[in-house]
Amino acid sequence: MHTLRGIYTIDNSENRNHGMECWALDCSEGVVLIDGGMTPQHVDNIAAELKSMNRTWSDVKLILVTHKHGDHTKNLPRLKELTDAPIKAHKLEAPLIQSAVGVEVEPLEDGAVLPFCGGIELVWIPGHSEGNSNYYLKNQRTMIAGDTIFGDEKGNLTPPPEKYCLDVKQASKGIERLLNYDFDNLLYAHGKDIIGGAKQKVENLVAQNC
């Protein structure tokens, strides 16, 4: 689905309710995938999205990972075979993902800027997992928040549920860090994307959590 110019949300949920997403960015430097789903169906979903973008697997030049959980990482070996693109994640997470799925994952520092789509910045917010990361697209005023934020059925934003978190207090408190960035759009893995007015919604969430 085409949500924003050059940013494609791939809905991997079975009932198409945006319960599990990953993303493809159509940059002039090549396609960047963010997360990769967990099943062969999800690989097919990514292939279909690439086709809709008039791109192929060989156009994929970089794979970024938000964090180590299986629903974001299990397809990485298959995606590596299909694209031969480097896979990168926050430095605390890279070795964990590498040993879990058996494919090379290069470490990134907090604040690293990848030279695609005018710059993609890694924003580290630990708590959901140790190296949990967001990817900020300054030119598109878009924050890809992975599992830093969840959504409930009504479309309200919430912190990640405790049962999925390494340290839920740290995860909730860390959301505040997103407010250091200017964004209109918030794309997150488990809930409906917010297009327009997203920063205000995150401000409200942070205020509720204090």
Q: Is 69 in the site for Zn ion (CB under 5 A)?
A: yes
Q: Residue 102 CB, nearest distance to Zn ion (Å)?
A: 20
Least separation, in Å, of the C-beta of 111 and Zn ion? 22
- Minimum CB separation from Zn ion for residue 67, in Å? 5
User: Residue 5, class by beta-carbon neighbours within 10 Å (0-12 exposed, 13-18 middle, 19+ buried)?
Assistant: exposed
CA distance 196 to 130: 29
Specify the stretch interacting with Zn ion by CB under 5 A; choose among 8-16, 68-76, 114-122, 195-203. 68-76
Please, which residue, 11 or 147, has the CB nearer to Zn ion? 147
The distance of closest approach from Cβ of residue 184 to Zn ion in the complex, given in angstroms and rounded to an integer, is: 24
Binding segment for Zn ion among 37-45, 63-71, 133-141, 175-183 (CB under 5 A)? Answer: 63-71
How far is residue 183's CA from residue 76's CA, in Å, rounded to a whole number? 28
Q: How far apart are CA 178 and CA 200, in angstroms?
A: 11
Q: Is 21 in the site for Zn ion (CB under 5 A)?
A: no
User: Least separation, in Å, of the C-beta of 128 and Zn ion?
Assistant: 6
Complex with Zn ion: residue 26 or 147, whichever CB lies closer: 147
Q: Is 147 in the site for Zn ion (CB under 5 A)?
A: yes
For Zn ion, the closer CB: 6 or 131:
131
> Which residues 88-107 are close enough to bind Zn ion by CB under 5 A?
none
Position 94: which residue type? A
Which value, to the nearest 10 degrees, does the dihedral of the CA atoms of residues 157, 170, 137, 94 take?
-130
Cα 132 from chain centre: 10
Stretch that binds Zn ion, among 42-50, 61-69, 78-86, 93-101 (CB under 5 A): 61-69
Which token pair is 136?
Answer: 């900020």
Provide the strand spans (E) within 82-210. Answer: 87-90, 106-108, 113-114, 120-124, 133-137, 142-146, 150-151, 157-158, 185-188, 194-195
Q: Using CB under 5 A, list all residues that contact Zn ion.
A: 69, 147
